[in-house]
Amino acid sequence: MFLFLIKRLIQGFFILFGVSLLSFLIIKLSPGSILDQLKLNPSISPQTLKELSQAYGLDENPFIQFLKWFKNALTFNFGYSLQYHAPVWDLIKERLPNTLALSISSALLSWLIAIPLGIYAALKRNSLIDRLILLLSYSFMSIPNFFLAFLLMVFAVKTGILPVGGTHSPDYTSMPKWEQIIDYLKHMAIPLIVLTLGGVAGLVRLVRSSAIEVLESPLMEYLEAKGAPFKIKLKHLLRNMLNPFITLLGFEIANLISGAGLVEIIFGWPGIGTLMLEAVLAKDIFLVMGSLYIGTLLLILGNLIADLLLAINDPRIRDRELGRNG
């Protein structure tokens, strides 16, 4: 297992380097820079712009500039944001909790709803309840998240049931702690519903298909013929349909930052998604690179966790990855 882990960590490092380099080159090749906005300000002299360019290494060879940035990024020093006049890592740390709160909550709710619903649909396949579950799944899959977000936003504004926009009310600081938590959850409710409905719609079909495949396997036929109790059959069902969902779990971890980006922008939720949009529009190269770096780290971490869980659940995968025979 140790060799398996070392192999994955080495692969992860090269992936991190390659994605960061590619992202950096794409940003550098795009026209303009963050200094272009400063050039429009008549109070800033060309000498000042030149000094800023030298101070942030914007006038260096792009590859040398990237190597210096990547070396510092290994210790989470992503440089300084000219747009916000603050260290990039401080800006990411400030926004990251909001994104993770929204993403993790929606992922947990999606799985908690989709797994029992998909298994129930598989057990009742071709029945009215199965068709109804599939109909709801296809319906929410066909509705884009941004459109569903706008519908729920209009509903919330018209009814006043839930607040729209931001993470808290204007009088948030004067509230007791428990009211602050409730206020935060109220503001998170609509974005959370949008992400959860979209997640459940896709997961239900996958759970149902995987469960049906296992239910029709010789193992389940044997347990059925033997008269095994439902609890035993459910245990074997869950164990044998586990592998594809462990892989899917890795992608869920990777999407913790990027998955909620569009919804954050629509609802004005101050997370990484809105930060990334502002950074891209302002050509804030260090802020863009820092955000992409964290997203790539989560991708590598998600795949690593999924690979380790797969190796634990199925030793054949571990042996194959390490080149063992038999």
* Residue-wise pLDDT tens digits, 230-286: 788 788 787 777 777 777 777 777 677 777 788 888 888 888 888 888 888 877 888
Q: Would residue 31 count as lying in a domain?
A: no
Range of the domain at 126: 95-284
Residues 6+ apart with CB under 8 A from 199: 106, 107, 109, 110, 111, 114
Residues 6+ apart with CB under 8 A from 182: none
Task: Convert the pLDDT of each residue in 21-34 to its tens digit.
Answer: 988 888 777 776 66
The pTM of this model reads 0.78
Q: What radius of gyration, in Å, describes the C-alpha atoms of the chain?
A: 24
Higher-pLDDT residue of 316 and 174 is 174
pLDDT at 56: 65
Residues 6+ apart with CB under 8 A from 105: 188, 192
- Residue 150: which CATH number? 1.10.3720.10
Residue 323 has pLDDT above 60, yes or no: no
Q: Would residue 271 count as lying in a domain?
A: yes
Q: Would residue 72 count as lying in a domain?
A: no
Beta partners for residue 81, in sequence order: 86
Q: Would residue 69 count as lying in a domain?
A: no
- How many domains, the chain? 1
pLDDT at 326: 45
Q: How many CA within 13 A on the CB side of residue 290? A: 27
